[in-house]
Amino acid sequence: MNDRIILISDFFIDDFVGGAALNDEEIYRLLSKRFDALKIKSRYLYEGFIMENFDSLFIISNFFGISPSVKDLIQKKCKYILYCHDYKFVKHTNPAVYPDFRVPPSELINVDFHKAAHKIICQTGFQKDIYDKNLNLPHKTVNFSGNLWSGDHLDLLNDLSRADKNGKCAIINSPYPQKGVKEAVKHCGQNRWNFDIIEDKDYEKFLRKLSQYSKLVFFPSTPETFSRIVIEAKMMGLEIVSNDLIGASHESWYSKEREELMNIMREKKKDLVNILTK
């Protein structure tokens, strides 16, 4: 092995700013301070690149864009760690449609790719448990128990934690049914809570908007591996109204709020380096 670490994902923050992309950007910044780090989008991988770098460590985030031949080559030739943002062992990535999250063996995919990984990093114990139920690889799955934010974004969240609250509920707008917008609206209606459906493509403007609310109402129908939005809301002092599909809610630190929770997440960069370099 050489000192190069290559981060692979389907998308990065120059494509769009979402939770996975923000987290992956922090992984890249973290690695760049310590190693010869490179990031590359999965759709740009080719066999020659893999052969030129087969003695590097690959950290693979989202990988649906990797061609079958390149994925097969990585599986056979490379040392790689999977950093899991969802559940890529089932085509639709939603194990919640099955009893106890157990996908029928005939519907499992990418099993060998997971088996050949050096490690499988899960963001919460909740996610790890679902992986272990389906892939039976508890010796490879690791509970990172966190997510990564930039120092600037944590400082912003700290400032916003002091924002005055408007007494209303926030529902995050989403075109994806699994994010449960209709269910959240229904819940607010049943409880006669005032609510707004909010959104903003600008990440920092969105946080400023969300910080004004008293509650976040969120009812996903797919198991959230972590749920950055829930943790950001807690950092800013919002009450969370949700279901048991929030991965972070199963962690021991979930009862923490505001600055105490931010400080826990600040330390997660050290934890991730230890996981990657062991």
Tokens of 231: 């943790």
What is the rounded distance in angstroms from the CA atom of residue 203 to the CA atom of residue 206? 5
Per-residue pLDDT in tens (0 to 9) along the chain, 278 residues = 568 999 999 999 888 888 899 999 999 999 999 899 999 999 999 999 999 999 999 999 999 999 999 999 999 999 999 999 999 999 999 999 999 999 999 999 999 999 999 999 999 999 999 999 999 999 999 999 999 999 999 999 999 999 999 999 999 999 999 999 999 999 999 999 999 999 999 999 999 999 999 999 999 999 999 999 999 999 999 999 999 999 999 999 999 999 999 999 999 999 998 898 87
In this structure, are 142 and 158 located in the same domain? no
Assess contact for 157 and 262: CB atoms under 8 A.
yes
Q: What's the domain range around 13?
A: 4-147+269-277
User: Same domain, yes or no, for 83 and 210?
Assistant: no
Domain count for the chain, please give it.
2
Assign residue 204 the CATH number of its domain.
3.40.50
Q: Are 5 and 39 in contact (CB under 8 A)?
A: no
In a shared domain, residues 14 and 132: yes
